[in-house]
Each structure stands twice: as C-alpha cells, then as structure tokens.
Structure 1
Amino acid sequence: MMKFWDVVKADMRANAGHANMLKLLPTFICNPGFAAVFLHRVACKLRQGGMVRRRLGLLVWRWNVGRSACHINLDSDIAPGLFLPHPTGFVIGSGAKIGSGTTIYQAVTIGKTASPQYPVIGAGCVLYPNFLVIGPLAIGDRAIVGAGSVVLKSVPADSMVVGNPAKMLLVGHPQNAVAQPV
C-alpha cells in the first residue's frame, strides 16, 4: 500500500505534470482536477481516525462535492494517478474500483444497478464526457470509452467502445486493432 503523500504526488503528476511538493498549494489553487482529487484523498485519510477526524473528513468531502460538483464516494477504491481534466458533474459510487492512471472527463457516472456490485475500471483507461456504466461490469486496462457511451457489457483491455448502447470500435492494441462494425 502506498503512503498518503506518494499517492498525492502521483495525483499531482497526473493532473499538473509535476510532483513538486513545494508547489502543492499553487497547484491546489490553480488546478481544479488536482484539487478535487486531493480533497477526496484528504477526506478519506481523515476518515481513518477517531470520531472527530471522521466528522472532519465528512466536512471536507461535503465541501469538495459543493465546490467541484464531483460526488466521489469515500468508500470507492481509487488508485493513484487519477486525472480529471474537467472535474465537474460526475459521480463515482461507493463500491467502484478505479485503476491507476485513469482519466475521467466531466459528467461521468460510475454506479450500480439493483445488484450490490459496482463497476471495476482498469488502469490507464480514458472515460470521455457523459459516459455511463452501472452494475457489475469491468472496463479493461487501457480501454477507451467514447463520449456519450452507455456501457452495458464488460469492455476488454486495449479496446475502444462508443455509442448508446456502447459498441466495440477497436479490439486489441491500437497498432494491431481490428475495426468492428458499429
């Protein structure tokens, strides 16, 4: 398990292109993507303490939701290096798992259906605006999900899906990709 400040450095590197801790405050103020991820990490860290720290963590979380319009549940499992280019209007549910180096654009929903299971998003994925995935699905490592896509089935690694409902556009690594009819 990574230490808190190592996770913060990975998030800073993903959102601001550097991990200079001397620039933490300016990066927090000037980079809304980093600010949203950082406040989420702080709220999660505070929840690990006693009653006062847990309540403070909930206040930080609530402030983050209000300032960024990003509802990142404190029970979600988000690996280091989350990149939020336009952090507004998205929801990440409580049981969602997101791999390292994932990029999430605005208005994305990662939630559950009647099933108690949440989606698992692999490492290095790119989720474009207005993407929706709910239920016990998996988005494979390095997969790309196009804007406005509604994912109803699991997506294999190194592939691209687009549409509503999402259909496979590319399968395999981009150099060896096979186009699928849409």
Structure 2
Amino acid sequence: MSFTLVGSCEFREEIRKSRFITIAAPISSPTEAQAFIDQNSDPNATHNCWAWKLGDQYRSNDDGEPGGTAGRPILAAIEAQGFDQVVVLVIRWYGGIQLGTGGLARAYGGGANKCLQQAARVELVNRLSFNLECSFSELALVKVRLAESSGLVEAENFTANGVELSVAIGPEHIESFQRQLADLSRGRIVLHKTPAL
C-alpha cells in the first residue's frame, strides 16, 4: 500500500545554527516535480537539496553537499513512509558550524521524515489505463459513468468524428464500466487496454 500527499506541507527546524525548511508536495509527472523544485528553491540559501519518487522513477540531488548526504536520505525518507508521487525539497541556510556527513544525512533525512509524518496523506489507488472513442453527445454520460467507477480522464482528444479518451480505472471496476458503456452506446463503445510503454 502506498500513499501520496493530500497537499503541500512544510516543516522548519534549526540544527546547530543551520536553518532547514522542508517542503513536500504531491506530483503527477517528473516535469511537475522539477517545476515545484524551481518554484520553491531559494537562490539565497546555501543549499536546495531534493528528491522525488513517481512509481519506478526517482531522482535526488545533493546541491553541493557532500555526495549522498542530502538527496539520498530525503529519498529514503519518502520510501520508508510508503510515499509515492511525492517531491520533497529541503532548503538549508548554513549557520557556521559543520555538521559532518552523518549529521548532514540525519538533518536532511530527518527533516523530510518529520515533514511527511505530520502531512495529510491519501492512499494511492491502483488504476489501469484504457482508450475509448465516443460521440460528442455521449461524452458527458461516459464521464459520469467513469466518475461513478472511481475512474479518471487522463486525456481527451476531439476529432471530426467524436472524442478519443484515455481513462484510468481500478481493476475491480473495469467489467461494470465496460457493461455501462455497451449499454449507453448499443455495444459501440469498447475499452482498449493502453499498451505499456
């Protein structure tokens, strides 16, 4: 079971005169993670260290701290608490006292841990991706049926003949959703599994 954040959260602490601010947020793409990091990093801070995890993809950055003392401990905090689809940024203002590599790892990992522990979380629902085509007049009803099945519209593309939808739906809802689509379109709307990349 994995979780993501309901919204962004923040945690502040001072360790041996160095100030640390940890900010975390939910993400849905690597681009969104980078945008969050760019938007929230402080150019006047000594270091802006970060990590994010999105399914099997993950990245971390020590931003000038000794290798492995910032980004990796932040990523370890994300994974230790069962989070996914999350970005964590830890901003440090150096206070003049060296923390050492162990102290840095504890400060960055600890800040990320404390920030995520206090945050509101939501369980991630496993969904599978499908494509379907419907007419313009059927679109609203398709979206209503999808929402009733706890599904999501991932993309929609309007064509001359109707609408191509990419949808994500939990495995337990696929059969009933397919039946509803068949009922509302006399069997014409069919779910096609999205091929894995």
Q: TM-score, normalised by structure 1?
A: 0.26
Structure 2 length-normalised TM: 0.25
